[in-house]
Structure 1
Amino acid sequence: MAQQYDQISDRLAEFIAGQHVFFVGTAARDGRVNVSPKGLDSLRVLGPNRVVWLNGTGSGNETAAHLLDVNRMTLMFCSFERQPLVLRLYGTAAEIQPDQPEWGNLIGLFPTMLGARQIFDVTVDLVQTSCGYGVPLMEYVDERPLMRQWAEKKGPDGLAAYHRDKNTTSIDGFPTGLRA
């Protein structure tokens, strides 16, 4: 049975810190709903109602485009390795890009990520847990090195060009606000 809370407890923050993958869900008023998997040690719980996550270069930039239209976000965590649990964090988010002062205050929380594109600062207004009985039991092996290798091969100029070419509009044609 689902349980709802108004903040992230210490126990749930510990659960989040132990997850290797999480999922981000966003949607604009029109167009497609986006659900995206994230990993690479890119999320931090900063308080009972605040989470930040570092977003790397991707094939699209749907999250940013959706937030410009409707500022809401859901983060979902599933326990694949231990006792079953699904945790959802509902809230709103602010996008922070590398040219903003807040970037300098937050980027040090994360390991270096070549191609880091944004930090999303999430204000959580609802926390929900559910059983997770239907989530498969799986074993974590390791992070894939492919994103880092791809970014190294592109280099700074190649990443900037990729951002301009692939990350300034969503698949529905909405602007993402990315300053490439």
Structure 2
Amino acid sequence: MRTLVLNAGYEPLAVVSFRRALILVMNDKATVIEHDDRDPVLGIDGVYDRPAVIVLTRYVRIPNVRRVPVTRRGVLRRDAHRCAYCGKAATTIDHVLPRSRGGSNSWENLVACCLRCNNAKSDHTPQEMGWALRWAPQPPRGAHWTVRGTERTDPSWEPYLTLAA
């Protein structure tokens, strides 16, 4: 069981284990704002609801820029496993400007691509092939990308994750 942790300003910070969340609540470092419907936990000091979403009692300062690292899996996830050139199911990634021509490994230069388009494009640019990108590649945004562990969300987390997007 996992728990979403919100900062004192209700912005998503992380996803932690049920045990870690319960320790934060028992030590009065967090309060439960959404709880699981299962049986409560009995502690020495009292009865505690099983936390699904907790909010910290003190604000935790986080760095301004949370950069999402560029990975093959991340590019495929961002593009919903669809080829940026033909729209079919994508299994590989492609450099829009090939690396041999100075293309970088950045969110703006990488797209999901099917094997057929990737092989056909080879070391060319889309313009040289007469192709157009179906969407402009850009860095991903939203809490689903900056908060670790939110790939598989709990339905009770949705209102708090959409506020941050």
- In which range does the TM-score fall when normalised by the shorter chain? under 0.3
Q: Please report the TM-score for the alignment, with normalisation by the length of structure 1.
A: 0.19
Structure ID, larger Rg: 2
> RCO greater where, 1 or 2, for CA within 8 Å and sep 6 or more?
1
If each structure's strand is expressed as a fraction of its own residues, which one has the higher value?
1
